[in-house]
Amino acid sequence: MILIKFFILSTIFLVSLFSSVQLTIPKDLVRGEPLLFSLDIIGNDITLPDITDIANNSVQEVSSSTSTNIINNQITKRVKKIYSLYPTQDFLFPSLKFIVDEKEYFSKEQNIVLKNPQKTISSNFELSLKAKVKELYVSENFILTLVFKYKKNANIIDLSFEKPNFDNFWYKQLNDSKQYKEGDFIIQELKFLLFPLKKGILKINPLKINAQIIDGNNSLSFFSNATSNVKIYSNELKFNVKELPSNVKLIGKFDIKTQVDKKEIKQGEAVSFKLEISGNGNIDDIKDIKLDLKDATVYENKPIIKTVYEDDKYKGIYTKVFSIIPNKTMIIPKISLEYFDKDLGFVVLKQSDEIKIKLLNNSIIKKEELIQKADVKVKQKQVIKIIEKVSIKDRVMFFFLGIIVGILILGLYLYVIKYKNKNKSNETSLLKKIKKTKTKDELLKLLAVYIKIDSSLDELIFKLEEKNDIKLHKKDIIKKIKELKL
């Protein structure tokens, strides 16, 4: 019994000798990069703490491996894990509790300090951010140029440019990249168009490029091409961004114009009204323009904004088309546009012209009255009844003629049914939707998108506004749509 107890105690002692917990955490961390920490645990019975959240930072398991080792005839298990988290500020990494072979282990607390990245100084690489302006207004665009230069013999295997995150700036990358040589260096340039979103001192943090290079100093490079990863950081840039005056949202230079396809129309006809704003500046910030016309029904399309960067300016055209059905002669009012002109130093107000739409009176067709003459004499006709006798031969002939006529009528009936089914199967989805509509508003909503396709169809659609009973009018519309094959 004593020998058994001794064997058990010695076994526990030997296991404890081979049990260990190693937690590796970096002391410093570059802001914006992940914190990677690792666990290396040896033992048989291992209980890990819950590592899903540390200091309100979500933790992700990057890799995990388990192996079995035999040391002095003792079998032990080895667990290796790597975790990552993305802290946004300095924090205290807490003490963690591990239980290995019924023994408790506690890691030490550690302060994690986030450091701002510094521009990489190297004789082989250089990454720079350049901008021609330092002071500008909210929503004023400028060009940010990223310049990366490296030596031809730098032994680069791979380059990866991390997608930038320009906080407090709206941006888009321009298709204006270029590569050229300068002495012993190869230079690459990328250009970004940026718009500051708020006032104050705004900062663009250093950008980063990850490079994989052949490491000739590595002792293993004699047998194979050993590689190393190099992080290359750029400089940072600061901008003094001022608020636009008078609470205007646009900055640049713009023009506004409007036009209609006709100024005189008949009752029920539509006027196509086109609004166009062109210029350079933050044209994407133009709000959706509406028309509030009391004496008309207005249908509108979504605005279309086309932009291009050329001649060192961000240019664009804002276009919106309205379809207006006036109830009487009316005036389309001026449309106003305010923007700040930096060159002039003040707010400019641009307005379109008023446009008068004249509604023509409908021509009234007088119906001629039918006048009957009072002195018209009606002659009486003498009716003579003639009674004819029908023979048996004629009756037999009439019987067979009746059968033939019946067969013809039945054939005609079947043909009509087949023709109707064929037409019904050929009906378009639009015709089916029109036939299902029950109210005038449903029918108008369905047909509004087909305005300006055909003038006669437009007239039928606009007359629908005046109709209370739409059944007969719906038939005319269906007939016209079949003709147009819509």
Q: pLDDT digit string (tens) for 376-435?
A: 444 444 444 444 455 677 777 778 888 888 898 988 888 888 766 655 554 567 788 888
pLDDT band at 453; cut points 50, 70, 90: confident
Q: Domain spanning 249-359: which CATH class is it, in words?
A: mainly beta
Is the pLDDT at 226 greater than 70? The verdict is yes
CATH 3.40.50 is the classification of domain 125-242: no
pLDDT digits (tens, 9 = 90+) for 310-319: 988 999 999 9
Give me the phi and psi of 126, to 5 degrees please: -155, 130
Q: Of the given ranges (192-196, 225-229, 269-273), which has the lowest mean pLDDT?
A: 225-229
Q: Is a pLDDT exceeding 90 seen at residue 352?
A: yes
Local confidence band at 225 (pLDDT 50, 70, 90 cut-offs): low
What pLDDT score was predicted for residue 17? Answer: 41
150 pLDDT above the threshold of 70: yes
Amino acid identity of 261?
A: D
Amino acid of residue 144: L
- Rounded to an integer, what distance in angstroms lies between the CA atom of residue 230 and that of residue 210? 6
pLDDT band, residue 332 (cuts 50/70/90)? very high
- State pLDDT tens for residues 104-145: 999 889 999 888 889 999 888 999 999 999 999 999 999 999
Query: Between the CA of residue 362 and those of 268, 357, 359, 365, what are the distances in Å?
Result: 10, 16, 9, 9
Beta strands in 327-450 (DSSP E): 330-332, 336-341, 346-351, 355-359
d(CA 330, CA 355): 9
Note the pLDDT of residue 482.
83
CA dihedral 206, 209, 210, 215 (to 10 degrees): -100
Tally of CA atoms within 13 A in the half-sphere of 136 that contains its CB: 22
From 250, 390, 245, 233, select the one nearest 318 (Cα to Cα).
250
pTM > 0.85: yes or no: no
Q: Among 386, 125, 307, 73, which residue's Cα sits nearest to residue 234?
A: 125
* Res 252 pLDDT > 90: yes
Hey, what CATH topology would domain 2-115 get?
Immunoglobulin-like (2.60.40)
**254 contacts: CB under 8 Å, gap ≥ 6:** 277, 278, 279, 280, 281, 283, 337, 339, 350
Tell me if 2-115 shares its fold with 249-359: yes
Beta bridge partners of 233: 208
Q: Residue 168 in contact with residue 196, Cβ under 8 Å?
A: yes
Count CA atoms within 13 Å of residue 417 on its CB side.
6
Residue 8: what pLDDT? 38
Where along the chain do its domains lie? 2-115, 125-242, 249-359, 425-484
Judge residue 271's burial from the number of C-beta atoms within 10 Å of its C-beta, 0-12 exposed, 13-18 middle, 19 or more buried.
Answer: buried
Question: Distance between CA atoms of 114 and 95, rounded to whole angstroms?
Answer: 19
pLDDT for 442 beyond 50: yes
